[in-house]
Structure 1
């Protein structure tokens, strides 16, 4: 008798044997119980053997099932090793991704993406550097980073990029501020207030500097800090206002107010022009592009 083994059928058989029933096995496999039952029944039919004793409230392996159990574990272990080896060939298991991220994205956007990617590819080492957009560009050009996040409105000469995110820049004020109940405010109104700003080189600061150029009005800088929690604390206490990506201003005692007209920030992955992205790096970019819409 010539047999061919279906790895899926062996996985279902193994799950039933290890979990002591079809219902528990289906739950662990995230499939319908009927699919598990039918697959195991089909396996028994092909083998012309009974693998389980079906009791009223439980099941147990037959001697033939006990024999198959050891072989199934061995075959599935070999299949997993083969899959692992093939993934390693493509650089999906081993390797390193070095990426530079601005602080606002690093704190409020990328954590679930980084954890999700690490869960899917545990063997890939992720090195994350927080810095301003300008410094990230220099680090990419100097080969210190493979990938970085840059804004689309800055010069990216010598870089290739892929757009992945569009976010609204808003005014962040305390709830008792006169702007808090308004739907929008103008750039001139914002620049007339004491401001808490990032230092030069960050897109947050460049955004405000650009507003100053467009309006011909100098910003009133009350504080400079690259620390988001400190900036929020200063705003919360009424010592100044600031601008953030909208998702950063999601706290009960802070209000996010749109600019008039609305201000949008486009962000892209960037890497050195002509540089080869490793499979691990390309996989990371693809992962973020695939998942960003759901966050």
Structure 2
């Protein structure tokens, strides 16, 4: 027994005729009779009896029709929902966003996407790029914003932001009026870093070690604005992307370009090369790739 059988039986009952049911289902009358006979043989019961020109249900037929209604309603609901998903009227996307990227670049992106696809639900997970990369690899996220470099054998991606780090200092700091600062000049300063869920945490430590010193980490946080405020209060020096530094309070903090080395901050939208990617997630990738290519977000 399959859905087609149930549809056939309910049409015969609704129209009280094999012939009219066949017309309704766009098949021939012998075809519909053969379907019913085959089902009766399969179930070893009679479904219909003919009483003159009338078609009546047997007890077995009554039982089938009684259960067929809810089953066909569920089937129609499933077909409608699949159609909605196919045409992007429904669905959900799990997106991983680092706090800096989320607050600085994505509110207008979400707005435009939701205006275009109001039925798609965006489930946003805020974490550092390290945790987002782990969740992407494990399939707990569909797409996520991460910091380069990434494993191109595992992830596909497209660029979102290309930036570089600046040193954030209080206005009264001895280096605040410099046009640029070398990393070695910060060897004796307390550092304020993102915590180790963020790719910048290990990146900054690695760059310091590469030139011969181990930085003294005074504070760690997951919030870029809090880091900027602490640096402005003189609790240590911080390193934040140029695009983020523009949002800091200029009455408290100075942001000076970092050189020797220049530390890039390059964000990409990433997703797994292998595994299932929903239609909604694929459309998010297509939509945002076009948006970031066309704009300076």
| Same-fold call, TM cutoff 0.5 | yes
Question: Alpha-carbon deviation of 1:156?
Answer: 5.3
Q: Deviations over 1:67-90 (max 9, x none)?
A: xxxxxxxxxxxxxxxxxx999464
Matches within 5 A, 1:2-13: none
Q: Give the TM-score normalised by structure 2.
A: 0.64
**Does residue 294 in structure 1 map to residue 290 in structure 2?**
no
SS in structure 2 opposite 1:196? strand
Stretches of structure 1 that go unaligned for 5 or more consecutive residues are 1-84
Q: Does 1:119 align with 2:115?
A: yes
User: Counterpart in 2 of 1:36?
Assistant: none
1:258 aligns with 257
Q: Could you say which structure has the larger radius of gyration?
A: 2
Any residues of structure 2 matched to 1:196-215 within 5 Å, and which?
A: 196-215=192-211
TM-score normalised to structure 1 length: 0.65
Q: 1:229 to 1:294 in 2, by over 3 A?
A: closer
Aligned match for 2:218, one of 207, 218, 222: 222
| Contact 1:91/1:278 (8 A) holds in 2 | no
Is 1:134 aligned to 2:130, yes or no?
Answer: yes
Describe the shift of the 1:183–1:94 C-alpha distance in structure 2 as closer, same or farther (beyond 3 A): same
Provide the rounded CA distance (Å) in 2 between the counterparts of 1:155 and 1:140.
12
Instruction: State the partner residue of 1:37.
Output: none
| Alpha-carbon contact 2:167-2:258 (below 8 Å) kept | yes
* Aligned-partner SS, 1:93: coil
Residue 100 of structure 1 aligns with which residue?
Answer: 96
**Is the contact between residue 158 and residue 289 of structure 2 (CA under 8 Å) also seen in structure 1?**
no
Q: Deviations over 1:50-98 (max 9, x none)?
A: xxxxxxxxxxxxxxxxxxxxxxxxxxxxxxxxxxx99946443311111
Per-residue Cα deviation, 1:136-185 (whole angstroms, up to 9, x for no partner): 12211222110111222244552222233212221112233233222211
Within 5 Å, give how 1:132-281 maps onto structure 2.
132-155=128-151, 157-250=153-246, 251=248, 252-253=250-251, 254-261=253-260, 262-281=262-281
Against the structure 1 CA distance between its residues 216 and 156, is the aligned structure 2 distance closer, same or farther, given a 3 Å change threshold? farther
**Offset from partner CA, 1:247-294 (integer Å, 9 cap, x none):** 111232322211114332222222222224323212222332223333
**4+ aligned runs moved over 3 Å, structure 1:** 85-91, 154-157
